[in-house]
Amino acid sequence: MTKMIEKAPYTSIAKIYDYLMEDVDYKIWMDLIEEIFAHFKTEPKTILELGCGTGSICVELESRGYKMTGIDLAAEMIDFAKTKSDSVNFQVGDMRNFSFEEKFDSALCLFDSINYVHTLEEISQVLDKTYEVLKEGGIFIFDISTEVNSIQNFNGYYEADQFEGFEYTFESFYLRSDKMHLNQITVEHPDFAETYIEKHYQKVYKTEELQEILEKSKFEILGVFDGFEIEEATKESARVNFVLRKK
């Protein structure tokens, strides 16, 4: 039996991440983003994505004519993203503390990346840094996975599979008392001397507490929408999109 070693999130799974996410339809998701742009009568040309992962969203939007920049904390994910496009500006970066000389027309932080930011103070840091790199009138869209999503769709979820020599397990738990969701992933490969385990903790925020932070920020709140619709979020929303504008 191989020794189990804990690794930082999105390091050992970088090469299988796209396989894990193969059911995600990025085209439909980006259709929604463009619908939001159209709804608020904005036509961005340059977009920054925070928490870009392996770059699937950046590459999809680049194919639609946008000039894309993506940052992610995991160097392994950025390395893989760079294999998908030579023209997207992929960089290792922390969404809580980053800067660019360039100003962007829009910024995105999708697929509950913001849930990896565990305190409201750090959420405020993300907002401040994003505000700094947007042009006046720039749109910031981010989403969260809610408690409804944790309880109804993922608590107790388990899967095990193989991909190109990798073997992995994926287990998901909602830690209700801590308002944290834990995704635990183990990865094995013949080239690995150990079995790697990653523990992904996501803070489960209430929509209302984020709205309070947003109201204190420099941004104007344009909308708080349900999932994949441009309709007002409710207490039953599994995913919530926040749309902000730089004043």
pLDDT in tens, 94-142: 999 999 999 999 999 999 999 999 999 999 999 999 999 999 999 999 9
Q: Which pairing describes strands 134-145 and 104-109: parallel, antiparallel, or unpaired?
A: parallel
Q: What is the dihedral of CA 50, 146, 206, 227, to 10 degrees?
A: 70
Phi and psi, residue 7, nearest 5°? -120, 160
- 221 in the same domain as 133: yes
* Structural domains in the chain (count): 2
- 161 in the same domain as 66: no
* Residue 2: band (very low, low, confident or very high) from pLDDT cuts 50, 70, 90: confident
- 216 in the same domain as 113: yes
- 159 in the same domain as 46: no
- 164 in the same domain as 63: no
pLDDT digit string (tens) for 60-78?
999 999 999 999 999 999 9
Residue 80 CB coordination number (10 Å): 20
**Cα–Cα distance list, 119 to 108, 180, 204, 243 (Å):** 19, 11, 10, 20
pLDDT digit string (tens) for 206-233?
999 999 999 999 999 999 999 989 999 9
In the predicted model, what is the mean pLDDT of residues 18-36?
A: 96
- 226 in the same domain as 196: no
Round the average pLDDT of the chain to a whole number and report it: 97
Structural domain harbouring 180: 3-7+149-203
- 117 in the same domain as 217: yes
Name the residue type at position 22. E
* pLDDT at residue 193 tops 90: no
Nearest in space to 91 (alpha carbons), one of 101, 81, 104, 105: 81
pLDDT at 1: 54
- 195 in the same domain as 219: no
- Write the CATH number for 137: 3.40.50.150
- 189 in the same domain as 161: yes
Phi and psi, residue 194, nearest 5°? -125, 165
In the predicted model, what is the mean pLDDT of residues 145-163?
A: 97
pLDDT at 133: 98
